[in-house]
Amino acid sequence: MIAYRNLRVALLGAGSVGAQVATLLTEHHDELASRVGAGLDLIGIAVRDVDAPRTAPIDPALFTTDAMGLIESADIVIELMGGIEPARSYILHALNSGADVVTGNKALLAAHGPELQAAAEQVGAQVYYEAAVAGAIPIIRPLRDSLAGDRVKRILGIVNGTTNFILDKMDVEGDTFENALAVATELGYAEADPTADIEGYDAAQKAAILARLAFHTDVPVEAVHREGITQITAAQVAQAQKAGYVVKLLAICERITDPSSGIDGVSARVYPALISRQHPLAAVHGGKNAVFVEAEAAGDLMFYGAGAGGIETASAVLGDVVSAARRHVAGGPGVAETTHANLTILPIDSVSTRYQITLEVSDAPGVLARIASLFSEHGVSVETVQQSIASVESGATRPDALATGTSESSGTATLVIVTHVASERALSRTVADIADQQVVVRVESVLRVEGA
């Protein structure tokens, strides 16, 4: 099935994302090969200092300081150095050498995106940059391809994890900005110099990239209106909460018409804003990112996930590498759709999950102990039990009656049992045994509990 020659992949930079990319390319080599239709060989990693200490276990023979030489022998160049230079020169050199480029460099794309795209177009190469906006979240490809037949009206993005962590902490814990920032720094959410994040520079770069893609219009990062979150007070956040809002730093890209001149155009802006607690973006907590897209035909869409992190961002980089590689192999999505894995399809009996079982039982001493022992016999671990008396007229609950086994009522009670993860097989045997018990009037419901 793998008929194409192996592709040569060069990596520029070995920071937290780069190291993860190198590890995944090596450890998942065969799996990636079967998805691409060709092996992806990591031929070298360009770094400034070959002997610098690394945390990830990377073959030291891969490191080189000769970035230009490495680039020239590659089919695909992954740039994860950050900053404008020498990243820009390296990427231009890669494109001119006929390589496709994958980059996560938002600063460079915001400042020189059009130049890089023009260089790529001239030689028929591609620049991929899914990792540059909102980390692991696929947003570039949906905007470029999935919505290519639609018209984007507005994008509201939470695209900076540091500021979202800070504002979420202020909202949830009533913290001041200063305290929340201190915690963010301590936990590694904020860098030693947090200016780029808290003053909105990082979000503005992402807004420029998103606006360009959504509106087919060059948007220089200097044209993005930018306000940071340093002036947001605990009082403002509390006031917002009282009024049903939450404060979020939003990157907004919008088709607007100037009310005075009537000129139709594009607005790209970053500022802290209030958003209704009913809005899907309000539920984006901690360091997470989300991009909410309002399109003419598609309506409202939201893309949610991890906006940063070495391994998470590496996923986006590798997705782009596979796309670039498939283009080399077949000029299309390659073997994306083959079922090379053909894993066994297991029946429902093989599934393990959590369960909620609701039983109507005699309200008599010893019932809970009897039921509990049946769970235990089948190896199903119980997480919680709640009990209420179903048959008494008042409808009042007596959560402790069965648990203590002291009830002498002749009525019935409802038991709601939630289990830890158990196998479907063990659970169904347990439920069958329970149903057979004389003290059990009926099994009212068995529902699975998912998402944990």
Q: Is the CB of 49 or the CB of 450 nearer to a second copy?
A: 450
CB closer to a second copy, 277 vs 365: 277
Give the shortest CB-191-to-a second copy separation in angstroms.
Answer: 21
Token pair, residue 234, equals 């605990």
* Nearest Cα to Cα of residue 102 among 75, 65, 127: 127
Choice between 304 and 433, CB closer to a second copy: 304
Q: How many CB atoms lie within 10 A of CB 48?
A: 11
Angle in degrees, 0-180, between the axes of helices 161-173 and 177-186, rounded to the nearest 10: 130
Considering only residues 85, 145, 193, 436, which one is a binding residue for a second copy as defined by CB under 8 A?
Answer: 145
225-284 residues in contact with a second copy (CB under 8 A) are: 225, 233, 235-236, 239-240, 243, 245, 247, 250, 252, 254-260, 263-269, 271-276, 279-281, 283
Would you say 331 is a known binding-site residue?
no
- Residue 106 is labelled as binding a ligand: yes
Residue 86 or residue 227: which is nearer to a second copy going by CB? Answer: 227
Helix (H, G, I), strand (E, B) or coil at 356: strand
Query: Rounded to the nearest whole angstrom, what is the least distance from the CB of residue 246 to a second copy in the complex?
Result: 10
Which residues ranging from 153 to 182 are in contact with a second copy (CB under 8 A)? 156
Q: Does 451 bind a second copy (CB under 8 A)?
A: yes
14 is in an annotated binding site: yes
**Total residues contacting a second copy (rule CB under 8 A)?**
134
Q: How far is the CB of 68 from a second copy (least distance, A)?
A: 26
Binding to a second copy, residues 3-32 (CB under 8 A):
20, 24, 28, 31-32
- The contact mask relative to a second copy for 35-54 (x = CB under 8 A, - = no) is x-------------------
Least distance from a second copy to the Cβ atom of residue 44, Å:
19
Cα–Cα dist 196/321, whole Å: 28
Q: Nearer Cβ to a second copy, position 190 or 281?
A: 281
Stretch that binds a second copy, among 73-81, 177-185, 196-204, 298-306 (CB under 8 A): 298-306
Active site residue 153: no
Show contacts with a second copy in window 323-382 (CB under 8 A): 323, 326-327, 331-333, 336-348, 350-353, 356, 358
Which residues from 53-92 bind a second copy, rule CB under 8 A? none
12 is in an annotated binding site: yes
How far is the C-alpha of 164 from the C-alpha of 176, rounded, in Å?
Answer: 14
Nearer of residues 309 and 365 to a second copy, judged by Cβ: 309
- Provide the mask over 301-320, with x wherever binding to a second copy is found by CB under 8 A and - wherever it is not: xxxxxx--x-xx-xxxxxxx
Residue 80 labelled as part of a binding site: no
Binding mask 192-221 for a second copy (x = CB under 8 A): --------------------xx-xxxxxx-
Site for a second copy in 377-416 (CB under 8 A): 386, 416
Which residues, at least 6 apart from 365, have a Cβ–Cβ distance to it below 8 Å? Answer: 405, 406, 407, 408
Tokens in use for 184? 């963010």
Considering the complex, what minimum distance in angstroms separates the CB of residue 75 from a second copy? 15
Q: Among 246, 245, 250, which residue's Cα sits nearest to residue 290?
A: 250
One of 206, 242, 248, 288 is an active-site residue; which one? 206
Q: Where are the alpha helices (DSSP H) in 193-337?
A: 195-198, 201-215, 234-242, 310-330
Tell whether 15 is in a known binding site.
yes
Within 10 angstroms of residue 317's Cβ, the number of other Cβ atoms is 29
Partner residues linked to 252 by β-bridges? 156, 269
Burial class (CB in 10 A: 0-12, 13-18, 19+), 246: buried
Q: Rounded to whole angstroms, what are the CA distances from 406 to 362, 367, 392? A: 13, 10, 16
Is 315 labeled as ligand-binding? no
Edge-first strand order for the sheet with 412-419 is 382-389, 412-419, 352-362, 422-423
**Furthest C-alpha separation in the chain:** 87
Torsion of CA 42, 45, 320, 84, to 10 degrees: -160
The answer to whether the beta carbons of residues 130 and 122 sit under 8 Å apart is no
Sign of CA dihedral 189, 194, 200, 202: negative
- List the binding residues for NADP(+): 12-19
- List the binding residues: 12-19, 106, 191
Give the catalytic positions in this structure.
206
- List the binding residues for NADPH: 106
